[in-house]
Amino acid sequence: MKLLFVILDGLGDRPVSELNGFTPLEAAYTPNMDKFSELGMNGLMDVISPGVTPGSDTAHLALFGVDPFKFYTGRGPFEAAGVGLKVKEGDVAFRVNFATIDNSGVIIDRRAGRIHEHTKELAELLNGLEIDDVQIIFKEGTEHRAALVLRGEGLSDCVRGNDPKKEGKKPYPFKALNEDSSSKRTAEVLTKFVEKAQRLLANSDVNIERKRKNLLPANYLLVRGAGKVPKLPNFEKEFGLKSACIAGGGLYKGVGRLLNMTVIEKEGITGGFDTNLKLKFSTAREALKDYDFVFVHVKATDNYSHDGNAKGKKNFIEKIDVELEQFLPDNTNDLVVMIAGDHSTPCVFKDHSADPVPLLIYSPSCRKDDVKRFGERYSYKGIIGRIYGKDLMNVLLNELQLIKKFGA
């Protein structure tokens, strides 16, 4: 028995008037997901707990059975692992944006004109620097994104970054969030690094060329999401499942890597609207031959929500549904299929909410309930009822007949 673990980011939603009071998932024509609902078990899931709005990082930890209250230190480590940096326990990691700052020190664009070329060259200027005996490890991500890792003695993640999250403002000074020497040292190192980076970026060939082309230069670094790399459980060993992760977004690949899943990357699998869904799911199909557990993450559902684009979300869900046909029980045997959101992102809010997410679990021998469609207001009537994200992996292991007895 193998397990296909599908997370549609920000899937959960609320009624939308332009969809006649349905949610995007309810409104979408999803014959394949509906088939899984019909043959499987349905419910709602509080990924963290009722009334708690999950971030994407804490949500995924919880879904993989890792207690975020115990293990979560910040988003940086996952972003760094996501771009492929080999982080070590104790490293302090950050998310970074290449940004544009003007001569007076005001941020013009937090994304440097959504730069998407030659960031590798920029990153190479910064990677390998050393400041006050701290090693700077720096790597570009997708578009304007990058990751920064500080490696050395006496560092802390109790620092506030320099990103004011708004344009037209000056960057914040880095700030130690408590009084200990390691917080202060980390803030100092970051300050020196960003100053040095500013000089190096200003004079870079890439930026001279961008200015020539009238593009905004990537002349500044906005740093946030400090987190000390935690010692995370080994997902494969913990659950005894040879595990693969297929995701476009850096964060999700990072979570997979830090939990010791094998991340399968292919050109065209992105975290955006443009991701090649056909390739993503055929890669999953292929991976199920070699792996017991295949995590497939689709990000764009959440992106549509953040844009408030309910129809776009509905249409994208329909595209995902098409790719799920190949996993129907008619086509494959001995496969457990789980489909859920990592959190809700109602289009009416354009942001995460604490609404529980729709959840379906299909296995050949499961207690099929009366629910026949996948959607927030169909799912809640199912036999799963309302569970916590932290319990999901155990529930799935039960379907895989791999759960251990407690007691005798």
Interacting residues with a copy of itself (CB under 8 A): 14-15, 21, 23, 44, 48-59, 68, 72, 74-75, 225, 346, 348-349, 352-355, 365-370, 376-377, 380-381, 383, 385-388, 391-398, 401, 403-408
Shortest Cβ 131–a copy of itself spacing (Å): 26
CB 280 within 8 A of CB 246: yes
Shortest Cβ 225–a copy of itself spacing (Å): 6
Tell me phi and psi for residue 315, to 5 degrees. Answer: -65, -35
CB-based contacts of 402-405 (< 8 A; 24+ apart in sequence): 402/1, 402/239, 402/240, 402/241
CB nearer a copy of itself, residue 122 or residue 340: 340
Shortest Cβ 310–a copy of itself spacing (Å): 12
CB nearer a copy of itself, residue 54 or residue 152: 54
Which ranges constitute the DSSP H helices of 220-265? 235-239, 250-258
Shortest Cβ 202–a copy of itself spacing (Å): 29
CB nearer a copy of itself, residue 36 or residue 281: 36
CB nearer a copy of itself, residue 289 or residue 408: 408
> Which of 128, 163, 173, 164 has the alpha carbon at shortest distance from 148?
128
Shortest Cβ 407–a copy of itself spacing (Å): 3
Q: Is 95 helix (H, G, I), strand (E, B) or coil?
A: strand
What is the Cα–Cα distance from 68 to 74, expressed in whole angstroms? 10
DSSP 8-state assignment for residue 138: E
CB 26 within 8 A of CB 359: no
Shortest Cβ 403–a copy of itself spacing (Å): 5
Q: Which amino acid is at 99?
A: A
CB nearer a copy of itself, residue 46 or residue 323: 46
Q: What is the CA radius of gyration of the chain?
A: 22
CB nearer a copy of itself, residue 68 or residue 141: 68
